[in-house]
Every structure is written in structure tokens, then in C-alpha cells.
Amino acid sequence: MKSHIPNFITLLNLFSGCVAVIFALEGDMKWTAFFVCLGIFFDFFDGLLARKLNVQTALGLQLDSLADMVTSGVVPGLVLFHLLGLASPPSWETTGLLPYFGLLVTLASAYRLANFNVSTEQSDAFIGLPTPANTLLIISLPLLLEYQNSAAVTTIILNPWFLVGLTVLSCYLLNAPVKLIALKFKTWDFKTNANRYLLIILSVAFLVTFQFLGIPLILLTYILLSFISN
């Protein structure tokens, strides 16, 4: 019976992702972000629970990636679709097509998740940027527009070339052949998990100090700490 508990949590991740898709299609980025964050919380919690209960299964691995494909694959593509639609200059002949460019992140996420499922080298570290981290970066953009808006922020985020560049960068990082820290605590020992604890402390500090602007800083710190760790 206990083997089904983590799978139930994973399904809550999938449910949250489905609700986030609905809000993203309606252009409501605030609730999209809320349900994405809820789904990512369930995504972290299901793996932690499976390890604690010692009920990790092949089914759970597949189900986890399927849920992530929605929450951290489809949703960020739709968010970029929305932002590119807002950023497209009316004079562009490609106005009707440019937003679809954002869906490349969804394709790259699918490839990354499928590769993760068949890989035997990602038990202690990720190869490529995890899809939830990439999703948090993308979902921070409409939140910055909504809650920390300024002329500079609007100019940068709603620049179509910035969004196209971010899309390309995201697709690369998701499948880049670089090792990144996996936030999987097998023990609570500080020495073993020093970089993980440091990342958590800095993440809290960035969020408190910079609010949503802290999310890109957290991602940059995550990548830098991973390189230092390697």
C-alpha cells in the first residue's frame, strides 16, 4: 500500500500542471505560476517520500517524468508563447508565427525527460538543467512584469530578441552535457551536502532581497555551484 503513496503525490503534480495549462491558455500568469510552483513542490516531495519509504519503482520513475512533461514541459512553452505574443511588433510579417517559437522549450523538455529516464548516470547528479529549474526561470518573467514592473523590466522581457534568445538558451541548457547538482538528500550530513545547503540559504536570501528577480540569480548560482562542485 505504501508504494502507492509517492505515486499519488506525483499525480497531484500532474493535476497541478493541468490546471496551470488551463490558466496559461487564458493568459492568467499569476495562477499559472501558483499551480506550477505547487506542482514542483509535489515533484520534489514525491521523490523524497519514495526514498524515505524505500519504495522507488520503475513505474514511479516513468510517472514522474510524465507529470513533469506537463508541469515543467508544456507550461513553460505556453508561457513563452504568451510572452512572445505580447512582444511581437505588429509590423513583423511573422507576427502570427513568432509565439510558436516558444514551444521549442516543450520539445527540448520532452527530450531531456526521455533521456533522463534511460540514463544510468543521473542518480547523484543531473546532466543538463532539470526541467523544474528551467520552468521557474521562465515563469518568473510574467511575475516580474506583474509585481516588479518598471520601464527597464518591460523593455527587456518584452523584447522579442530577448525571448527568442532565452528560448534557445533554455533548449541548450536542458540537454547540455554538463553535470549539475541534484537536490537529493540521502543524508542530512552538512559536509556531504554543503553545496546543497549553501544553495538553499542563498536562494532564500535572494528571494527575500530581490523577490521574483531573485529566481534568475538562484539559477545562475545553481549553475556556478555545480561547476565548483565538479
* pLDDT (tens digit per residue) in 109-140: 999 999 988 887 766 678 899 999 999 999 99
Confidence of residue 47 (pLDDT cuts 50, 70, 90): confident
Containing 66, the helix (H) or strand (E) segment is helix 58-69
Higher confidence at residue 37 or residue 183? 37
Q: What is the pLDDT of the chain when averaged over all its residues?
A: 88
Residues 47-67, buried b or exposed e (16+ Cβ, 10 A)? bebbeeeebeeeebeebbbbb
Taking residues 97-120, report their average pLDDT: 92
Residue 158, CA atoms < 13 Å, CB-side half-sphere: 17
Evaluate whether 124 touches 182 at the Cβ level (below 8 Å): yes
For domain 4-229, which architecture applies? Up-down Bundle (1.20)
30 Cβ partners below 8 Å, 6+ apart?
A: 142, 143, 146
**What pLDDT does residue 133 have?**
94
CA–CA separation, 52 vs 54, rounded Å? 5
